[in-house]
Amino acid sequence: SQEEQIDKITELLLTIAEEIGSMKSLQHVHKGIHKHEEA
């Protein structure tokens, strides 16, 4: 049904959002480490 499709898409979008969120925090940590090395 259409509702099932919407649920699947919503789940997928949430998963992608989580992936992006963790990637951004990893980049943030990486930048922090890099700054620490320069100092």
Q: In 3-state terms, the chain is what percent helix, strand and coil (to 5)?
A: 95, 0, 5
Domain borders along the chain are 1-39
What single letter denotes the amino acid at residue 10? Answer: T
pTM of the model: 0.60
Q: Express each pLDDT in 1-39 by its tens digit.
A: 999 999 999 999 999 999 999 888 888 888 887 777 766
pLDDT of residue 6: 97
Among positive and negative, which fits the CA dihedral 10, 15, 16, 20? Answer: positive
pLDDT of residue 31: 83
pLDDT of residue 2: 95
Distance from the Cα of residue 39 to its chain's centroid: 29
CB atoms within 10 A of CB 2: 6
pLDDT of residue 1: 93
pLDDT of residue 11: 98
